Chain A
């Protein structure tokens, strides 16, 4: 991928070189479109996409994403890639509903569409999920309840109210918390927009508003960092529990200090590879079957269910919960 860095640097003169890349349309281009580029979660996914590209040198595989978290920007990229004649798109939608129109047009035109983190996407061929979302939400909340001793006020963060998986996780979490009558949910579903700074500000507000809060369950990849910082700065490390989606490397310091109780995740690297593998199978005219092995860890025996539309829902087994003692096993 160094060639891409050079391309960016030699922006003007590289135009002719990249022209050859843009030309290719022999049924072998797969482009992964992520929610936002340049954040750790999707950087990790890019390593998977790159690894997959190395395994399949005959394919033209790359990853792009908008610079700002705005579904309109992602829509524009998807639309341009379709017009360019990309054969298959592996998309992590910022907001599945906003992409319905363009994906419908894409499939009408014969573009292969694979999505991830969007099990309500109607206009997709296959949606790949790392795990069953309610199982994951339940697991996160159970870990939180264990830390809180089943007592006290707690709240939830989601990337955005439109992010369906996040809403499912906190929804399953709320269900699970009902088993612990001592747990009281306050001000739920705060929107973080996956921005650590914004989450930090919001978490500080919540800590001020509810000085007796005991737990946070967060959803987007950067939320644990923002909330963890707020907890640490408030000197509440160890008194307030924080369980949420996060990546081991960025969270390491807070896991060590105890500001983060535990992180849950699936490996975006593996998800990126699985999406590309599904796209490749579809490009070759193959079929996605229940129990099939996608050749990626956590996706060795996927369960296939009917999707929200005419497409399929592929569910893997890629959930990981890590705390202070175990995060070292998953450093990325």
Chain B
């Protein structure tokens, strides 16, 4: 079986970063508290990166720039609604359920809007989502008057962002669940297969009679749903939601997707790689923070990492390493 080079590289990097971190910090980096802390930070950017990945897989220059704006809009809109109609102290479970549902509904609606504009009006995804990004941000500002919306620190909402189950942060468990579910959907359902085929060759997909616009709309809707989930996690973790939170996430999400080996031209991408890629970035960032490095060094390290990944992909480094191992050598004679 051919090894997935991105999967191998990312896994090795995760192990390497954990080892270096543990060594450099004298163990603090590998303490349960820090591992939990890093796992808590991961889901919000992870959801957004998967959204970007799906959009890229759809091909035709697919990308979703509206992710974080959509997440903030979801949190703000759902937060204002839920706080106005439900008392978090009296009925915390209902409050949490309504807030989470609200976020996911608003997020999905935002995604559907993207999908319809792209598939029906044939607007290039980068322009469409740039426009909706501003629209979503604007809606969030108008709804909240530019102030942050307090959703409060009531369980069970608070524990989604800050609690743990069996030592693992709940937000991270939800994230892993979504990764597995989406991985299965992409690999085994008709929608998943058609999405990748459409991305690989849109023209062939049209002549094969694929319902292109439905596939596109579904894809951007899922991306929006993921943004809504990011909104839930952000609100749960920070107690407050605000329209300008995480402006830097836009580029980080794209970086994670590209580092995960998602083909920007469409047709290929693995959710598990996106998760690993997000973990690598998180480990690296936290490690640099542990060492008291300037944040500018972090940007530099990210850039280097991205270039390394592009090089690994371009020169098929993993395949060559594998080829030098006698046991893994193909029985067939080289042609």
Contact = CB atoms under 8 A, between A and B. Distances in A.
A15 interface: yes
Contacts of A71: 242, 244-246
A162 B147 contact: yes
B127 interface: no
Interface string B157-175: 0100110000000000000
A249 interface: no
A72 interface: yes
B299 A70 contact: no
B24 A73 contact: no
Contact of A80 (B37, B158, B248, B300): B37
B238 A102 contact: yes
A85 B20 CA distance: 18
B36 to A, nearest CB: 8
A19 B37 contact: no
Contacts of B297: 8, 11
B110 to A, nearest CB: 19
Nearest to B237: A101
Contacts of B207: none
A38 interface: yes
Given A68-B248, A100-B238, A80 B150 contact: no
B298 interface: yes
Interface size of B as a range: 35 or more
Given A70-B247, A84-B28, A85-B28, A7 B293 contact: yes
Contacts of A109: 33
B196 to A, nearest CB: 32
B291 A37 contact: no
Contacts of A4: 292, 294
**Which of B25, B31, B301 is packed against the most chain A CB atoms within 10 Å?**
B25
B242 A97 contact: yes
B239 interface: yes
Contacts of A64: 289, 292, 294-295
Nearest to A103: B239
Contacts of B153: 100-101, 104
B215 to A, nearest CB: 32
Contacts of A25: 28
A65 B295 contact: yes
Contacts of A31: 292
A21 B24 CA distance: 9
Nearest to B148: A97
Contact of B248 (A73, A97, A162): A73
A72 B292 contact: no
Nearest to B249: A72
B295 A66 contact: yes
A161 interface: yes
Given A97-B242, A100-B239, A79 B296 contact: no
A100 B28 contact: no
Contact of A23 (B25, B150, B248, B249): B25
A104 to B, nearest CB: 7
A136 B295 CA distance: 32
Interface in B17-75: 20, 23-26, 28-29, 31, 33-34, 37-38, 40-41
A331 interface: no
B146 interface: yes
What's the dominant secondary structure at chain A's contact region? helix
Contacts of A104: 153, 239
B81 interface: no
Contacts of A62: 292
A287 to B, nearest CB: 27
B11 interface: no
Given A70-B248, A79-B37, A98 B293 contact: no
Nearest to B33: A83
A19 B239 contact: no
Interface in B286-335: 286, 289-301
Given A67-B296, A162-B146, A80 B240 contact: no
A8 to B, nearest CB: 5
Contacts of B245: 70-72, 95, 98
A18 B24 contact: yes
A158 to B, nearest CB: 10
Given A83-B38, A97-B242, A37 B296 contact: yes
A52 B294 CA distance: 20
A102 to B, nearest CB: 7
A77 interface: yes
Contacts of A8: 293-294, 297
Given A97-B150, A98-B148, A104-B153, A84 B242 contact: no
A80 B286 contact: yes
B153 to A, nearest CB: 7
Interface string A59-100: 000101111101111011101111111000000000101111
B285 interface: yes
A161 B147 contact: yes
B298 A67 contact: yes
A89 to B, nearest CB: 12
Interface in A204-252: none
A82 B286 CA distance: 11
A18 B291 contact: yes
A22 interface: yes
Given A72-B249, A95-B245, A162-B146, 6 more contacts: A18-B291, A80-B38, A80-B289, A83-B34, A97-B148, A100-B153
Interface of B: 20, 23-26, 28-29, 31, 33-34, 37-38, 40-41, 146-148, 150, 153, 158, 161-162, 237-240, 242, 244-249, 285-286, 289-301
24 contacts: A4-B292, A8-B294, A11-B293, A16-B23, A21-B292, A22-B26, A23-B26, A37-B296, A62-B292, A65-B295, A66-B295, A72-B249, A76-B286, A77-B289, A79-B41, A80-B286, A82-B37, A85-B28, A95-B245, A97-B150, A100-B153, A100-B238, A101-B162, A101-B240
Top 5 nearest A-B pairs by Cβ distance? A80-B289, A161-B146, A67-B295, A72-B246, A83-B37
